[in-house]
Amino acid sequence: MAIVFKKRPGLVAYITCGDPSLEISRDVALAGIAAGADVIELGVPFSDPVADGPVIQRASERALQHGTDLAGVLDVARQIRQQSKAGLIIFSYLNPILQFGLEKFCAAAAAAGVDGALVTDLPVEEAADYLRSMKAHKLAPVFLAAPTSTEERLGAIAKHSRGFVYAISRTGITGTRQEVASDAHSLVERLRGFTKLPIAVGFGVSTPEQFAEVGQFADAVVIGSAIVQRIEQNTGRESAAVSEFLQSLTTTSQPAGVTG
């Protein structure tokens, strides 16, 4: 499989798997794909999600209380892949992958039909073993680039990323914001000096206006907290709520044929 953005801007949708259940996470993901998501980030709940704001922290706590683990998330990926060709990314902190076993994880992810992984707290400078295993199993490593990253670091991130590069719109934790940080545009321009891969901007995008704004300079937009919040607030109609929200974002998208 290859990660393909069929329009500009493309849509990357994040969900915390296991909140409120793995079955509902699967259904929400499929509903998101039907509503226009090009890539689904399947979040692995973690007990100390230091990069995440309160919405995703609460979702992780609930998912862990339900016994969600990496094996369960990989099974959700397998079920989604049986019904869709959309991009699938495992979104995790490093510890659950190390506990699972790095080589075992890469083999299991490939067998499940996953396209790649984003390990939030693994610096590219310390990722040699991870990159080796990912390459062996033909998986795409996706790295985070921050506004505070040096040129040297952006070059390394671009060199080792596959599929797309995730540009963090601002420093700090995840969560919806009233406006898109000005750092996002300049970061995308800096990254374009190092890579031809699509660049997706995330952290804080939550409205159709922000989605359109980011789409003026980025290839794709990542939506996370705003989706997780709708799942939290719409018990019993999670898939419908997420579908309606994503459709409201993408109705103004224009075809662009951006691929990666």
Q: Would you please indicate which residues are annotated as catalytic (active-site) residues?
A: 41, 52
Task: Give Cβ neighbours of residue 138 (< 8 Å, ≥ 6 apart).
Answer: 110
Measured CA to CA, the distance from residue 161 to residue 126 in angstroms comes to 14
Q: Phi and psi (nearest 5°) for 167?
A: -95, 120
- Partner residues linked to 200 by β-bridges: 166, 220
Geometric angle at alpha carbon 41, from 26 and 190, rounded to 5°? 165
Interatomic CA distance for residues 234 and 107, integer angstroms:
35
Query: In angstroms, what is the C-alpha Rg of the chain?
Result: 16
Contacts of residue 178, defined as CB under 8 A and 6 or more positions apart, other chains included, come to none
DSSP string, 101-163: -HHHHHHHHHHHT--EEEETT--GGG-HHHHHHHHHTT-EE--EE-TT--HHHHHHHHHH--S
Q: Tell me, what DSSP letter sits at residue 44?
A: P
Distances (CA, A) of 45 to 19, 20, 81, 118, 213: 9, 12, 20, 13, 30
How far, in Å, CA of 68 to CA of 65, rounded? 8
